A and B are shown apart, each in its own frame.
Chain A
Amino acid sequence: MSKEMVLQTAPHLPAEDSTPKVMFSVILALIPALLAATYFFGYRALLVVTTCVLSAIVTELVFLYLRGKNLVLTDGSAILTGLLLGLTLPVRIHLSLAALGSIIAIALGKQIFGGLGHNIFNPALVGRAFLQASYPVLMTTWIAPLEHWTDNALAATTTATPLAETVEAGYRELFLGNIGGSLGETSALALLAGGLFLILLGNIDWRIPLSFLTSTAVVGGLLHLYNPGHPDPLTHLLSGGLMLGAFFMATDMVTTPITSIGSWIFGLGCGTLVVIIRLFGGQPGGVMYAILLMNAFTPIIDRYTRPSPFGEEGN
Chain B
Amino acid sequence: MQLLSRLATFPGGTHPPEYKHQTASKKSTRIPLPEKLFLSLQQHTGAAAKPLVGKGDEVLRGQMIAEAESNISASLHAPASGTVNKIGKHPLPDGTTGDCIIIEVDQDNEDEKFYSPFQKIDSISSEQIYRRVREAGVVGLGGGAFPSHVKLSPPEETNIDTVILNGCECESFLTSDHRTMLERPKAVVNGLRLIMKAVGAEQGIIGVEDNKPDAVEELDDSLPESENLTVQAVEDKYPQGVENMLIYALTGRKMGASLLPADVGCVVNNVSTAAAISDAVLRGKPLIERIITVAGPAVKSAANYTVPIGTPFEHLFEHCGLIDETKLILDGGAMMGTSQSDLSVPTVKATGGIVALNQQHVNERQEHPCIRCARCVSKCPQKLVPTRLARLVKARRYDEAKDLHVQNCLECGVCSYVCPSNIPLVHWLRVGKEKVCP
Q: Which positions in A face B, CB cutoff 8 Å? A: 1, 3, 5-22, 74-75, 77, 115-118, 205, 253-254, 256-260, 306-313, 315
Question: In the complex, are the beta carbons of B337 and A254 less than 8 A apart?
Answer: no
Of the residues A15, A75, A205, contact of B417 by C-beta under 8 Å: A15
With A9-B424, A10-B413 as known contacts, state yes or no: A117 contacts B372, CB within 8 Å. Answer: yes
Question: In the complex, are the beta carbons of B317 and A1 less than 8 A apart?
Answer: yes
**B336 nearest in chain A by CB position:** A10
B370 neighbours in A (Cβ, 8 Å): 117
With A5-B329, A117-B372, A307-B383 as known contacts, state yes or no: A12 contacts B378, CB within 8 Å. Answer: no
**B296 nearest in chain A by CB position:** A12
Question: In the complex, are the beta carbons of A5 and B340 less than 8 A apart?
Answer: yes
**B255 nearest in chain A by CB position:** A311
Of the residues B317, B337, B418, B421, contact of A10 by C-beta under 8 Å: B337
Question: In the complex, are the beta carbons of B371 and A13 less than 8 A apart?
Answer: no
Question: In the complex, are the beta carbons of B377 and A11 less than 8 A apart?
Answer: no
With A7-B339, A310-B254 as known contacts, state yes or no: A22 contacts B371, CB within 8 Å. Answer: yes
Question: In the complex, are the beta carbons of A1 and B369 less than 8 A apart?
Answer: no
Query: Does B381 interact with chain A (Cβ within 8 Å)?
Result: yes
Question: In the complex, are the beta carbons of A12 and B330 less than 8 A apart?
Answer: yes
Question: In the complex, are the beta carbons of B369 and A118 less than 8 A apart?
Answer: yes
B317 neighbours in A (Cβ, 8 Å): 1
Query: Does B361 interact with chain A (Cβ within 8 Å)?
Result: yes
Residues of B230-249 at the interface with A, using a CB-CB cut-off of 8 Å, are 244, 248
Of the residues A11, A17, A258, A307, contact of B416 by C-beta under 8 Å: A11
With A11-B335, A17-B420, A254-B372 as known contacts, state yes or no: A6 contacts B362, CB within 8 Å. Answer: yes
- Most B Cβ at <10 Å: residue of A13, A77, A260: A13
Question: In the complex, are the beta carbons of A311 and B257 less than 8 A apart?
Answer: yes
Q: How far is the CA of A194 from the CA of B420 in the complex (A)?
A: 21
B384 neighbours in A (Cβ, 8 Å): 307, 309
A-B complex: 7 closest residue pairs judged by Cβ atoms: A311-B256, A117-B369, A258-B374, A11-B413, A311-B254, A312-B256, A19-B368
With A5-B340, A310-B408 as known contacts, state yes or no: A22 contacts B369, CB within 8 Å. Answer: no
Question: In the complex, are the beta carbons of B172 and A13 less than 8 A apart?
Answer: yes
Question: In the complex, are the beta carbons of A15 and B420 less than 8 A apart?
Answer: yes
Query: Does B258 interact with chain A (Cβ within 8 Å)?
Result: yes
Can you list 13 A-B pairs with a CB-CB distance of less than 8 A? A1-B318, A5-B343, A6-B328, A6-B339, A10-B334, A16-B418, A18-B365, A19-B420, A253-B373, A256-B372, A309-B408, A312-B258, A313-B254
Residues of B12-70 at the interface with A, using a CB-CB cut-off of 8 Å, are 16-17
Question: In the complex, are the beta carbons of A5 and B326 less than 8 A apart?
Answer: yes
Question: In the complex, are the beta carbons of A14 and B383 less than 8 A apart?
Answer: no
Question: In the complex, are the beta carbons of B334 and A18 less than 8 A apart?
Answer: no
With A1-B317, A11-B417, A14-B360 as known contacts, state yes or no: A258 contacts B377, CB within 8 Å. Answer: yes
